[in-house]
Structure 1
Amino acid sequence: MDLDLRKLRYFVAVAERLHFGQAALALHVTQPALSRQVRQLERDLGVELFNRASRNVTLTDAGEHFLDDARALLAAGQAVQDRVRRIAAGEHTMTVGFMLGTDVAAAVNVFSARHPNVPLELIRLRWWNQKRPLLDRTVDIGFVRLPIDAEGLKVLPLYRERLSVVLPSDHPLAGEPAIGITALAGESILRYADATPDWAAVWNAEPPPDDTQPPRGPAFHDMEELLGYIRAGRGVVLIPDPVAALFPRPDIAYVPVTDVPPGRVALAWDDTRHSSLVTDFVEAARSTLKLAE
């Protein structure tokens, strides 16, 4: 199924106002036409996005989650349109994707110093869609976390990151300076939502050294959900230390895990691209980051 961006725009307008009439006015369409398009989107997805049982319109659980994704898709679509228009007008741009906590600043600064007249944009990548923005030209090059399906891509390993387990601050292991992965035996493991099996094997340390099957915790989509589950005692999970550093909290502990392989950050770009700007950005990254062996 191909998602229609117009239907997404209609859905977001209603979801943000929780009123079909107000959304129709904002979109300059009739309310019946708007309602038909939203109903068709629900049929396309096979889920109901709104509760319409009362005079008040509310989002279903599926609608709540879909709203964030719809906003991201619309923003990506707009970014592609803007980019194409700038290219057609002869304006060169550079769009760099990044995973949360990756070290982009040094390479960006060196590149921008070399190309002061080239606008540079940063776009957030997620673990479940690191590759797609590289191939659909939403981004020119991206700081990704491995593993990634490298088919159609050039991938340059950059550096490694220590992993820590995220625990509630009252957990018995929270005060330890470091632990081994076996110390987490029996803990429920939170899952990266929509992750590939290769990603889960690395970031959930699957299978564990003793080949036991730990209880499966809830799946999370972002750090806010992750921290909510941790505080509620619903499970634990491994994350890179640079990500942990962005979310210091008195009720959360990050404990290094000594016997799991470190995370790996790489640069990735479309193998069919022949862009001097991409080449220059790769060289900027090489000159500023210590490459992994």
Structure 2
Amino acid sequence: MDLDVAQVRAFVRTAEELHFGRAAGALAISQQALSKRIARLESLLGAELFRRGGGVHLTEAGRRFLEPARQAVAAADAAVEAVTGTARPLRLDVWGHLYAPMRTLAQVAGRAGPAGDLVLGHGRDLPSVTAALLRGDIDAAFGRAHPPLPGGLTHRLVRLEPVDAVVGADHPLAAEPALRPEQLRGSVLWAPAEPARLDFLHRFADRFGIRDRAASVNLGLAHFLAEVAADPRRFSLIPADVPLPDVPGLRTVPLAEPTPLYAWSLLWRTGNTHPRLGLLSAALAEEARRSRWLEYDPTCDWLPEPPADGSDFAR
């Protein structure tokens, strides 16, 4: 049985959008042409791939076909690129609130091929970035890959970032040389969005008994830190090595016993064969070894969900 790549591509896009109109628009064809391609594919396979009516839903056959179909489309694209030598740029999302993946990427980008072969995007939040990965709109992204990982995605842990507390000069703990996280229980956790949406901050607050939490509007790091410094009860968490803007009255205090670590992973869709993806992953692994990015000691560090056997930290 010989599959038509255009028909398979039409199926994959529709399965990701679950909407014929959006899928047709993404493929720059008419909805009628999209429907015909899918109907011909279903006829060839002898199975219905979608249930129509009351929305678009995958059948059981469609669910089984989806991941192999994605791999078939990726392989076809790779075959064309191998002959023409015109591989498209790697589409990489560098979304982040206070934990900016751009700092990590900047340290390895030159070892992953020419900078012009990267196209950077900025998603709204990790769920929207995950959806873009599954649709194929982007090739890879950075994020904290906590279980359960959505089906069709894989990841590689690349960096564990220690975080410090930031407070205003009038905060009662501003003069301390270091703080244990539980010492912040009487303070207000100030977040750049609803803390429940920022999983790391939410789990930190739950783990260390921070009951008072409040959200700001994310208008940039300088504005956010100025809000922290303006109230003697507020604090937030910042990567220990991030360059901070000059905000009057702001103090940075290391956290210890334990030191919270933010786990960054590179995420991509299973079966993505873009040549730059392997180069980027290898460059990140090399830098992680050189800069000791993956050091973790459970006796003095804290992660929201450490692996049971530590295997992630050897990669």
Question: Match of 2:142?
Answer: 143
1:1-293 to structure 2, matched below 5 A, reads 90=86, 92-98=88-94, 99=96, 100=100, 102-112=103-113, 116=114, 119-125=117-123, 127-128=125-126, 129-147=128-146, 150-151=149-150, 152-194=152-194, 199-202=198-201, 205-209=204-208, 211=209, 214-221=211-218, 222-233=220-231, 235-243=234-242, 245-258=243-256, 259-290=258-289, 292=294, 293=313
Q: How far has the Cα of 1:172 moved from its partner?
A: 2.6
Runs of 4+ that moved beyond 6 A: none
Q: Which amino acid aligns with 1:92?
A: R
Q: How far has the Cα of 1:148 moved from its partner?
A: 7.2
Residue pair 2:225, 2:247 contacting (<8 A) in 1 also: no
Q: How far has the Cα of 1:271 moved from its partner?
A: 1.8
Write the deviation string for residues 184-238 of structure 1: whole angstroms up to 9, x where unpaired.
12111123525656x43556613144x4x52222344352452242133162122
In structure 2, relative to structure 1, the CA distance for the partners of 1:277 and 1:195 (3 Å cut) is: farther
**CA–CA distance in 2 between the matches of 1:126 and 1:166?**
24
Residue pair 2:222, 2:245 contacting (<8 A) in 1 also: no
Name the larger-Rg structure: 2
Residue pair 2:196, 2:202 contacting (<8 A) in 1 also: no
Q: Which amino acid aligns with 1:264?
A: A
Write the deviation string for residues 16-50 of structure 1: whole angstroms up to 9, x where unpaired.
xxxxxxxxxxxxxxxxxxxxxxxxxxxxxxxxxxx
Q: TM-score, normalised by structure 2?
A: 0.54
Residue pair 1:146, 1:263 contacting (<8 A) in 2 also: no
In structure 2, relative to structure 1, the CA distance for the partners of 1:149 and 1:231 (3 Å cut) is: farther
Q: How far has the Cα of 1:275 moved from its partner?
A: 2.3
Write the deviation string for residues 142-198 of structure 1: whole angstroms up to 9, x where unpaired.
23245476213211111211111111123232222210112212111123525656x
**CA–CA distance in 1 between the matches of 2:145 and 2:174?**
27
In structure 2, relative to structure 1, the CA distance for the partners of 1:171 and 1:204 (3 Å cut) is: farther
Provide structure 1 residue ranges, at least 5 long, that are not aligned to the other structure.
6-86
In structure 2, relative to structure 1, the CA distance for the partners of 1:148 and 1:127 (3 Å cut) is: farther
**CA–CA distance in 2 between the matches of 1:247 and 1:134?**
32
Residue pair 2:164, 2:238 contacting (<8 A) in 1 also: yes
Residue pair 1:203, 1:239 contacting (<8 A) in 2 also: no
Q: TM-score, normalised by structure 1?
A: 0.58
Over the matched positions of the two proteins, sequence identity in percent amounts to 20
Write the deviation string for residues 31-90 of structure 1: whole angstroms up to 9, x where unpaired.
xxxxxxxxxxxxxxxxxxxxxxxxxxxxxxxxxxxxxxxxxxxxxxxxxxxxxxxx9995
In structure 2, relative to structure 1, the CA distance for the partners of 1:187 and 1:137 (3 Å cut) is: same
SS at match of 1:284: helix
In structure 2, relative to structure 1, the CA distance for the partners of 1:195 and 1:153 (3 Å cut) is: farther
In structure 2, relative to structure 1, the CA distance for the partners of 1:190 and 1:118 (3 Å cut) is: closer
- Number of residue pairs the alignment of both structures matches: 203
Q: Which amino acid aligns with 1:134?
A: L
**CA–CA distance in 2 between the matches of 1:229 and 1:117?**
36
Residue pair 1:191, 1:200 contacting (<8 A) in 2 also: no
Provide structure 2 residue ranges, at least 5 long, that are not aligned to the other structure.
1-18, 23-80, 295-312
Q: Which amino acid aligns with 2:215?
A: P
**CA–CA distance in 2 between the matches of 1:251 and 1:138?**
42
Q: Which amino acid aligns with 1:107?
A: V
Q: How far has the Cα of 1:121 moved from its partner?
A: 2.2
Q: How far has the Cα of 1:253 moved from its partner?
A: 1.2
SS at match of 1:167: strand
